[in-house]
Amino acid sequence: MAHAHTFKANPHWLPRAAKGALAHIPGDNGLPLVGNTLRMLRDPVRFGTGMVERFGPIYRNRSFGETNIALLGPDANELVLFDRDKLFSSEQGWGPLLNLLFPRGLMLMDFDHHRADRKVMSVAFKPEPMRHYATQLDAGIAAQVTGWSGRSMRFYDAIKKLTLDLAATSFLGVELGEEATRINQAFVDEVQASIAPIRVPLPGTMMRKGVKARAYLIDWFEREIPHRRHGARGGNGEDFFSQFCRATDDDGEPLSAAAIADHMNFLMMAAHDTITSSATTLVMLLARNPDWQEKLREEIAGLDPHVPFADQLDRLVLTEYAFKEALRMMPPVPSLPRRALRGFEFGGYTIPAGTQVGIGITWTHNMPDIWPEPTRFDPMRFTPEASKGRHRFAWVPFGGGAHMCIGLHFATMQMKLLIANLLSRYRIEADEDSGAAWQFFPIPRPKDGLPVRLVPLTQ
């Protein structure tokens, strides 16, 4: 029997900043009740650009039922992400958006609790497990992309299925089949609910569907944990879930089943959805920039054909630069929320305790004084020479500070394997305007699914 999880706010959470306490900060609260929520969902990039043009890089906005302050630019990123003085709560920042779906996930933890759980989880990202994941991912990617030969396809849909399947096998150790399909669909339902305008699980809503999906997944995880701890299931036990179940803290104690279930629920979502969007971005950019597609293909062709891609990833330098540039142009998570635990000063404004604040990753990644011609795809921005002297918080697709994404090396590894398997087999072609319309909040994806054609290199 799964534990009865509740989703109420932590009683130690700070109350919101008092009404009128933010009136001195320029901004627009929007319509009664809904604020600017609908405008943001309709076109978040245009909305954000318009707000900066009207009010500057620090502005007040009301959306999703709360007034928040946007803090834009690399200095703001450093203040919030590095958080030298422990001013900001990630738990209380993300909680209003995600507590019904991903409570107590690693991103929704602060300070000592976050550090302790992260240390236990990090065992699954050490070199030996990562080598195992690479071998599995390489085989899984090759098996699926081989069947894409000559097809016109919606790349977003195809890569979403692939990343879900890879997450099920590499992260969970579950064989593809009916069970994996149901698990995958539950994660899809959770992600869709996370961006639903209706934030309560009323009958017939996406949020209700997402909450039911979470209940199914938590029950599945908690039933599986005893088997994984004792090696009764999961093949050789080298999948992430099995390793996490066996990991212990500094006192030699494993995490509770409830904690493992919450962390796995969050990590599985992060492992597939952000990779799906960033892979689609990179493929779109390579289709639009055939010269760079060819450069990466030449780099891949220079690998030893007798050695698996998984054992040569460090040689894919240009491929990594291209991935970083795709993340710059269209970061998978375009903004990050926090709540101020104490009042602070920034940019000439006094911001009180209890204020919801957010940094704009997409905005910083497109600042022309840092990134000349920001709409131009140029992976060479990330060479050591070009990066020298750049603000260390000018590029933050994986966050930063204590909450830096724990899976960033896993994501880079998976992307290199995907591109190596694709470009060693196919030429990617897409319409010039394919993927021109994008949704950015909270996870970017092309509305048209990015139609592409994969042309075998032998043609």
pLDDT at 68: 94
In tens, the pLDDT along 16-26 reads 787 789 999 99
**Percentage of the residues of the chain whose pLDDT score is greater than 90:** 63
DSSP reduced 3-state for 179: helix
- How far is the C-alpha of 85 from the C-alpha of 285, rounded, in Å? 39
Q: Are strands 88-89 and 335-340 parallel, antiparallel or unpaired?
A: antiparallel
Highest averaged pLDDT of the listed ranges 223-237, 266-280, 290-304: 290-304
Confidence of residue 7 (pLDDT cuts 50, 70, 90): very low
Report residue 447's pLDDT band, with 50, 70 and 90 as the boundaries: low
pLDDT of 52 > 90? The answer is: yes
List of residues 6+ apart from 217 with CB closer than 8 A? 183, 186, 187, 190, 261, 265, 268
Under 8 Å between Cβ of 192 and 210: yes
Confidence (pLDDT) at 355: 96
Exposure string over 48-59, b if 16+ CB within 10 A, otherwise e: beebbeebebbb
- Cα atoms in the 13 Å half-sphere on the side-chain side of 321: 20
The whole-number pLDDT of residue 235 equals 46
The average confidence (pLDDT) of the chain is 89
pLDDT value at residue 329:
93
Question: How confident is the model over 424-452, as a mean pLDDT?
Answer: 69
Neighbouring CB atoms inside 10 A of 373's CB total 9
pLDDT score of 12: 64
pLDDT for the residue numbered 6: 39
Grouping H, G, I as helix, E, B as strand and the rest as coil, residue 383 is: coil
Q: In whole angstroms, what is the distance from residue 174 CA to residue 125 CA?
A: 19
* Least confident among 360-369, 397-406, 433-442: 433-442
Residue 174 reports pLDDT greater than 80: yes
> Which pLDDT band holds residue 64 (cuts at 50, 70, 90)?
confident
Whether 80 contacts 359, CB under 8 Å: yes
Q: Which of 54-58, 156-160, 183-187, 270-274 has the highest mean pLDDT?
A: 54-58
Enter the pTM of the model: 0.91
